[in-house]
């Protein structure tokens, strides 16, 4: 793996508006977090990284931990991180590498933390699998809950951000928030990040425990919070972190609950429709979420086989939506009369894609879309083949069950 890693070039990342370019190619980020062991295998004996890569995963969030033990940036931590990076490089995947809470925020006076960050950046900035730095985790929530006032204020992220860019201009900084705060509060962190996003985990018993006082505890809260963080980002890329398992479901004393395929599919498209340019699936190796077979392998391959892998077949770089996912939203005057339908349109060459999702949790309804090109005629419903739909005078009618997602493709 190390030999394969060294044979590749240093990854170069550029950001253009809300899209990200990796080695000269625009990407829709598909990431996994809480990972198998560095030498992880599938139940069939295949490299975990090659399995992820073949399914369309292009990123993994790397933390210097393994088998439930977090080493921090000790010698052991550096060794584990390098093993992960080498494994990703061997499968042509990329990492966003965690800074750790102690060096993700500090002031000029904290020189020891500055030196620790410099060592980390200098050590890994030329590794071919490194693409992004993972900055402070959920800083606004951390600020709200801090025992010492001002611990994670936006200005405390300024110096680490500046140092990283001075030492490593090729790799942007990602800061992910919790579903807390207002657009104004979240926007105050914008100067100290290049990519942002939010962890939204609505599936638990009771529902919506991760969402605190937010009125919507349904899975459509993903779209609500995507809108908020997109507005706070003011044009910078947004990646949404979606649930496999988390502390509210895979912790002693909690009731284990994980998304079904249809729930995960809805949340993924709800994020995309509302502006996400990447998705990160979190919690695949939480020990209490693993059955007997998967516990031996250190990853939830059962969830992967049943839910994630089939879903990624729709949105990966080889799928039929690949170009649409990196395209800007269309200026087409598309509209839907039903308030519970969220949608976006993307144009790729002569093709018009419409992504639509129903936030209605109880009722099956027929809805009407207007504003399609008058000559659109017949379109296909992707992933529901051979189903097709027909427009008349720029109008389309179709049925939506609760949490339904339909992806339409028309010739303009």
- Cβ-Cβ contacts under 8 Å for 169 (sequence gap 6 or more): none
Q: Is residue 175 part of a domain?
A: yes
Q: What's 47's domain CATH number?
A: 3.20.20.80
| In a shared domain, residues 176 and 212 | yes
Q: Is 402 exposed, middle or buried (0-12, 13-18, 19+ CB in 10 A)?
A: middle
3-state secondary structure 140-194: HHHHHHCCCCCCCCHHHHHHHHHHHHHHCCCCCEEEEECCCCCHHHHHCCHHHCC
Q: Is residue 133 part of a domain?
A: yes
Q: Is residue 136 part of a domain?
A: yes
Query: Token pair of 120, please?
Result: 């980390």
Q: What is the pLDDT of residues 272-306, one digit of tens each?
A: 999 999 999 999 999 999 999 999 999 999 999 99
pLDDT at residue 339, rounded to an integer: 87
d(CA 200, CA 280): 11
| In a shared domain, residues 261 and 345 | no
| In a shared domain, residues 100 and 203 | yes
Q: What confidence tier does 148 reach under pLDDT thresholds 50, 70, 90?
A: low
Mean pLDDT across 324-343: 94
Count other Cβ atoms within 10 Å, centred on residue 253. 4
Q: Is residue 156 part of a domain?
A: yes
Q: Is residue 330 part of a domain?
A: no
d(CA 97, CA 113): 17
| In a shared domain, residues 229 and 358 | no
Indicate left, alpha or beta for 45 from its phi (over 0: left) and psi (-120 to 50: alpha).
Answer: left
Picking from 82, 78, 89, 96, the residue whose alpha carbon sits closest to that of residue 9 is 89
Q: What confidence tier does 212 reach under pLDDT thresholds 50, 70, 90?
A: confident
Number of domains in the chain: 2
pLDDT at residue 3, rounded to an integer: 43
Q: Is 184 exposed, middle or buried (0-12, 13-18, 19+ CB in 10 A)?
A: exposed
Q: Is residue 306 part of a domain?
A: yes
What secondary structure does DSSP assign to 74-129, as a single string? SHHHHHHHHHHHHHHHHTT-EEEEE--HHHHS--TT-HHHHHHHHHHHHHHTT-TT
Picking from 122, 86, 121, 102, the residue whose alpha carbon sits closest to that of residue 4 is 86
Count other Cβ atoms within 10 Å, centred on residue 183. 14
| In a shared domain, residues 202 and 144 | yes
Q: What confidence tier does 147 reach under pLDDT thresholds 50, 70, 90?
A: low
What secondary structure does DSSP assign to 308-338, as a single string? IHHHHHHHSTTSTTHHHHTSPBP----EES-
| In a shared domain, residues 173 and 288 | yes
| In a shared domain, residues 171 and 291 | yes
* Containing structural domain, residue 155: 2-325
| In a shared domain, residues 113 and 247 | yes
Which of the listed residues 292, 325, 358 is the one where a domain comes to its end?
325
d(CA 347, CA 60): 29
Please state which of the ranges 1-15, 137-151, 311-325 shows the lowest mean pLDDT.
1-15
pLDDT greater than 60 at residue 167: yes
| In a shared domain, residues 320 and 379 | no
Q: What's 379's domain CATH number?
A: 2.60.40.1180
> Distance between the two ends of the chain, CA-based, in angstroms?
47
* Total-model pTM: 0.96
Q: Which single residue is written with the structure tokens 């590794």? A: 127
d(CA 47, CA 91): 9
| In a shared domain, residues 387 and 316 | no
| In a shared domain, residues 90 and 117 | yes
| In a shared domain, residues 347 and 370 | yes
pLDDT, mean over the chain: 95
d(CA 240, CA 381): 25
Q: Is residue 114 part of a domain?
A: yes
Positive/negative CA dihedral, 219, 224, 226, 229: negative
């Amino acid at each position: 793996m190390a030999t394969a890693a060294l044979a590749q070039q240093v990854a170069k990342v550029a950001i253009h508006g809300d899209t990200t370019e990796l080695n000269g190619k625009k990407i829709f980020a598909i990431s996994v977090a809480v990972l198998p062991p560095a030498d992880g295998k599938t139940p069939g004996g295949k490299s975990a990284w090659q399995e992820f890569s073949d399914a369309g995963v292009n990123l993994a969030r790397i933390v210097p931990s393994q088998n439930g033990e977090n080493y921090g940036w000790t010698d052991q931590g550096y060794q584990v991180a390098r093993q992960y990076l080498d494994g990703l490089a061997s499968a042509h995947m990329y990492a966003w590498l965690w800074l750790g809470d102690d060096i993700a925020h500090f002031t000029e006076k904290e020189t020891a933390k500055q030196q620790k960050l410099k060592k980390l950046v200098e050590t890994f900035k030329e590794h071919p699998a490194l693409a992004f730095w993972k900055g402070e985790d959920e800083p606004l929530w951390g600020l709200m809950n801090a025992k010492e006032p001002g611990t994670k204020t936006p200005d405390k992220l300024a110096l680490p951000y500046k140092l990283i860019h001075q030492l490593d201009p090729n790799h942007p900084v990602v800061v992910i928030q919790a579903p807390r705060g207002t657009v104004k509060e979240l926007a105050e962190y914008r100067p100290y990040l290049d990519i942002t996003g939010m962890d939204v985990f609505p599936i638990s018993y009771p529902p919506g425990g991760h969402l605190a006082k937010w009125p919507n505890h349904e899975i459509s809260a993903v779209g609500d919070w995507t809108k908020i963080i997109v507005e706070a980002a003011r044009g910078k890329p947004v990646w949404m972190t979606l649930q496999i398992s988390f502390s509210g479901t895979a912790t002693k004393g909690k009731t284990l609950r994980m998304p079904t395929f249809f729930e995960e599919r809805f949340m993924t498209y709800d994020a995309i429709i509302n502006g996400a340019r990447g998705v990160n699936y979190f919690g695949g190796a939480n020990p209490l979420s693993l059955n007997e077979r998967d516990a031996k392998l250190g990853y939830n391959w059962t969830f992967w086989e049943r839910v994630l892998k089939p879903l990624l077949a729709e949105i990966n770089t080889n799928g039929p939506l690949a170009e649409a996912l990196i395209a800007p939203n269309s200026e087409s005057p598309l509209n839907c009369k039903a308030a519970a339908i969220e949608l976006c349109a993307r144009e790729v060459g002569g093709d018009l894609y419409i992504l639509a999702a129903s936030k209605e949790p109880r009722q099956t309804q027929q809805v009407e879309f207007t504003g399609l090109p008058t000559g659109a005629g017949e379109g296909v419903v992707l992933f529901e083949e051979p189903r097709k739909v027909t427009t008349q005078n720029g109008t389309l009618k179709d049925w939506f069950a609760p949490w339904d997602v339909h992806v339409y493709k028309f010739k303009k």
